Amino acid sequence: MPAIASFAYPDAQGVFDQINKQFYVSPEVLTELTKAFLDEIALGLSEYNHAMAMIPTFVTGVPDGTETGTFLALDLGGTNLRVCEVVLNGDKTFNLVQNQYKVSEALKHGEATALFDYLADSVDAFLTTHATTDYTSLQSDPSAHTSDAVHLGLTFSFPVEQTALNSGKILTWTKGFSAKHAIGNDVVKLLQDAFNRKHMHVKCVALVNDTVGALLSRAYTSGGCFLGAIFGTGTNGAYLEDVDKIRKFAGSAAAANGGAMVVNTEWGAFNNSKSHLPVTPFDNAVDRLSINPGYQIFEKFISGMYLGEISRTVLLSLVDATPKSLLFKGKATPSLNQHYGLDTRFLSEIEAAWIDTGATKGSVELPPLGKPSFESELSDAAKAKLTAVRKVILGPHGLGYKSEDEVSLRDAAIVRWVCALVARRAALLSGVAVATTLIQTGRAVLPGQEGSKALRERNEKIGVGVDGSLVENYPNFNTILRESLRLLVGEDVEQRVNIGLAKDGSGVGAALCALQALKQGL
């Protein structure tokens, strides 16, 4: 499969320098990206039918941890399908019972009715085997409706144009899904129809994006939050916006009510035109061969689904370089040759091996990768770290090589360098997304604009809830994200940003939305 270009070179180090330059993101580029991000936010708030859709969620507030109730949550995301029972205790804590169900590739790409019938079957199985609560006993909240139906909040981690708290039209599939005859239909109706076909007494009363769920969950457990962000298989952000800034709402009942509303940005689609993002040939290859070329471009730069694939394309180009291979003596394994054959977990394990090995934590000095005497110049500390990296390459989540003879310490150094380049760029760009929402909501300004206007919450902590495998597990991801944030909004604001993990945002957030729907009589 002719996926990528390889290098013809007179000087090996020149190849490594060229790749390094392509993945470098300067402070100036970060600033310009933030300005472009703000422009796309303004456009999405003003008009419908833009890639970065800025979807109003009809969630008009965030919890403070005192809410109570018992609800089901159904969470369909990029990796797992979960059914949860969530008990909100009213003291910033909750109890959770859950079970996971595998979504097959056939269901992801088959008919929508088959997919939603499977969702209904999974809920039915959960009620049979895991239910611990009488879901009709909601009298503890006098505003809640009591009926024979089990009340369920749906976390649907795909782009939706939401028209009410319990209604939303599917805009597009992402994260490897492409179920037929779903786009353009109401996702709540598709699910409710599946429940009805099976004569189940379950009512889907709320629709919530996983990012909105992260915001609500973090707000519930911390007592306040303005932004929820996902940095995992995919990426997205949702934040609390002033309704008067949502200009496409002009003349509507929501506009008349004023106040604030959670907006689901769909920022994975930022800069689909590639006019500002620092695109490399490897990014173009990954995009071109994806299931949705030309879409979700920002997501393809920073999300876990794609970082392994970007790294694989770089590594393979070095294997194929001429007149002499620059990696693995020109030998490629099935994992390197296979589309999406390299998982982002591999990158994480490589970085952990590099950081945690030896008495010297973190980085050590290495000779230039292209230097003929590279290995003879390695310090003992560097050899120890690269030996640990080589062990990961040869390990169960590695590249498929069988012996140390196939992987030199220079090879290990090149692999670690590529993984670090790709991951660092992802974390820096993730910081752009967080900084943009701070600026959009008046909590920060761009460099050089200090003092131009009064900042909101100038002396208060700023709550940000995050979820996803990258922020939770990838070594130094949060540190580099904060480095980007500091460059863009200044150290004073960055230090006041309290970034905390959203505890099961997709489950608890859906439960909180279900509670809100019942209070609104839905």
Where in the sequence numbering do the catalytic residues fall? 82, 157, 210
Residue 210 near residue 75, CB atoms below 8 Å: yes
Distances (CA, A) of 137 to 70, 84, 86: 8, 17, 14
Instruction: Give the 3-state DSSP-derived string for 266-317, with helices as H, strands as E and coil as C.
Output: CHHHCCCCCCCCCCCHHHHHHHHCCCCCCCCHHHHHHCHHHHHHHHHHHHHH
Cβ within 8 Å of residue 181, ≥6 positions away: 111, 112, 113
Query: Who's near 96: CB < 8 A, 6+ residues apart?
Result: 84, 85, 86, 87, 504, 507, 508
Paired with 150 in beta bridges are 202
88 DSSP β-pair partners:
69, 94
> Angle at which helices 344-356 and 304-319 pack, to 10 degrees?
80
Exposed/middle/buried for residue 365 (C-beta within 10 Å: 0-12, 13-18, 19+): exposed
Could you tell me if 345 and 353 are in contact, meaning their C-beta atoms sit under 8 angstroms apart? no
Assess contact for 482 and 519: CB atoms under 8 A: no
Q: How deeply is 334 buried, as exposed, middle or buried, from its count of CB atoms within 10 A (0-12, 13-18, 19+)? A: exposed
Q: How far is residue 507's CA from residue 157's CA, in Å, rounded to a whole number?
A: 12
DSSP code per residue over 387-451: HHHHHHHTSTTS-S--SGGGS-HHHHHHHHHHHHHHHHHHHHHHHHHHHHHHHHTTS---TT-TT
202 pairs with which residues across the strands? 150
Q: Do residues 309 and 317 make contact, with C-beta atoms less than 8 angstroms apart?
A: no
Structure tokens at 193: 């129809």
Backbone angles phi, psi at 87, to 5 degrees: -110, 115
**Closest listed residue to residue 262, CA positions, set 290, 295, 229:** 229
| Closest alpha carbon to 354 in 419, 295, 279, 275 | 419
Per-residue CA distances from 9 to 14, 15, 54, 412, 434 (Å):
8, 7, 45, 21, 39
